[in-house]
Amino acid sequence: MTEITEKAKPATIYDVALKAGVSKSTVSLVIRGESNVSEEKKLLVQSAIEELDYRPSRFAQQLASHKTRSIGVVITDYKNLSYLGFLKGLREILDDAGYQVIISDLHRSPNFAEDPVDAFVSMKVDGLVLATEPAGLRTHNLDIPCVMIGKRETLVPGSDVVFNDDSTGTRLMLEHLKQLGHQRVAHLTGVGGIAINRRVAFAEHAKELGLLGSVFGEGQPTTEIGGYMGTKELLASGKTFTAIYAANDYMAAGAFSALKEAGIRVPEDVSLAGYDDSPIASEYLLKLTTVDEQGVPVGRQAASLLLERIGQHTTSAPRNISIAPTLVVRGSTAKAK
């Protein structure tokens, strides 16, 4: 016959108070790290917590403080690993400050119509980070601090903006290609504010540097399929080119596939470059020459601005902070034939 043992109930704050011989409010003060508790009582409470294996209820703490100590982050797509650097920098600062980071994508599914901004507001997050185009999201009348990552087509009123300098990054790439002897450079673009920024910068700097630039892929998504379709458009155009500069690394990956299908080698026949320095560009995968958008510093700066807003409770003017990118040269670019 099998003996069934009833699982012990988790200890409560009342159990800790009884064990330590103090009031419930004193236990709460110790858990929150308040200074107005004697060392003797702190030791008694800490000893009782350890002995009873008590785990404070985060939800109960939030109700008591009227703060969730959480930050909502909206990204476009979980598949895009270029977000990893920015999220790492964000977490470094917010973890130290005791904030939980909750991430949502845009839920591009017919079975899920929830607006992620609405969801975060209903969860009463203390701040919001938007690393996507906000058009279509219900961002009007937000009453919580918000920081946007990247210069977007739409600006959420009152938001701070932290962005990588797309113009400088694009110029670095075009200067690199020109030094390799490339004169005819094709640019793969797509939808969204960041792609537009890089397309405008490409047109400006190609002209300044005396390059013959052409643009393909307008209206395409800034994904592998967008890069693939943009490259097919380029090949069908009959235009002569010796290098391709894509709006991001994932579009460059799609370009690589289309070039391979056409029997065009990288970098022997055509040089290929991207932007963001995402994991797919690394020496272990595409070995892609790219621009490092400095995701970690961008994330750190965004988190710092958000914490300032949360702590100040002020309506000071929104700030725009630019982070300078750097060029990363790998094996996908070579001297022009």
266 and 178 share one domain: yes
248 and 134 share one domain: no
Compute φ and ψ for 323, nearest 5 degrees: -115, 125
Give the pLDDT of residue 129.
Answer: 94
**Does a structural domain hold residue 219?**
yes
**Does a structural domain hold residue 128?**
yes
57-94 pLDDT per residue, tens:
554 555 455 567 899 999 988 777 888 899 999 999 99
**Does a structural domain hold residue 270?**
yes
Give the pLDDT of residue 61.
Answer: 54
Burial of 289 (0-12, 13-18, 19+ CB in 10 A): buried
Give the pLDDT of residue 60.
Answer: 52
Beta-strand relationship, 290-292 and 326-328: antiparallel
226 and 194 share one domain: yes
**Does a structural domain hold residue 334?**
no
**Does a structural domain hold residue 335?**
no
- Inform me whether the pLDDT recorded for 254 exceeds 90: yes
Torsion of CA 77, 80, 85, 88, to 10 degrees: 50
Query: What whole-number percentage of the chain has pLDDT above 70?
Result: 90
CATH number, position 21? 1.10.260.40
Cβ–Cβ < 8 Å for 89, 300: yes
304 and 315 share one domain: yes
- Inform me whether the pLDDT recorded for 113 exceeds 60: no
136-146 mean pLDDT: 84
**Does a structural domain hold residue 139?**
yes
154 and 201 share one domain: no
What is the helix, strand, coil percentage profile of the chain, to 5?
A: 40, 15, 45
140 and 177 share one domain: no
CATH number, position 89? 3.40.50.2300
Q: CA–CA separation, 181 vs 267, rounded Å?
A: 13
319-334 mean pLDDT: 95
182 and 289 share one domain: yes
**Does a structural domain hold residue 43?**
yes
- List Cα–Cα distances, 205 to 30, 185, 199, 249, in angstroms: 59, 12, 10, 20
Average pLDDT of the chain to the nearest whole number? 88
168-178 mean pLDDT: 98
Token pair 């988190």 in the structure block, residue: 303
Give the pLDDT of residue 111.
Answer: 45
Which range is least confidently modeled, 64-68, 74-78, 112-116, 146-150? 64-68
- Inform me whether the pLDDT recorded for 166 exceeds 60: yes
190-246 pLDDT per residue, tens:
998 899 999 999 999 999 999 999 999 999 999 999 999 999 999 999 999 999 999
Q: CA–CA separation, 295 vs 87, rounded Å?
A: 8
- Inform me whether the pLDDT recorded for 2 exceeds 60: no
Give the pLDDT of residue 298.
Answer: 94
Write out the residue range of the structural domain in which residue 55 sits: 13-65
**Does a structural domain hold residue 247?**
yes
123 and 159 share one domain: yes
Cβ–Cβ < 8 Å for 241, 185: yes
Higher pLDDT, 154 or 314: 154
190 and 285 share one domain: yes
Select from 23, 41, 65 the last residue of a domain.
Answer: 65
Give the pLDDT of residue 15.
Answer: 87
- Inform me whether the pLDDT recorded for 300 exceeds 50: yes
Give the pLDDT of residue 24.
Answer: 81
46 and 193 share one domain: no
Select from 40, 65, 90 the last residue of a domain.
Answer: 65
100 and 219 share one domain: no
Total domains in the chain come to: 3
Higher pLDDT, 287 or 5: 287
238 and 160 share one domain: no
Give the pLDDT of residue 200.
Answer: 97
Q: Which contacts qualify for 158-162: CB closer than 8 Å, 24 or more apart?
A: 158/315, 158/318, 159/130, 159/318, 160/302, 160/305, 160/306, 160/309, 160/318, 160/319, 160/320, 160/321, 161/318, 161/319, 161/320, 161/321, 162/298, 162/301, 162/302, 162/305, 162/321, 162/323
12-43 pLDDT per residue, tens:
888 888 999 998 888 878 877 777 888 888 89
161-189 mean pLDDT: 97
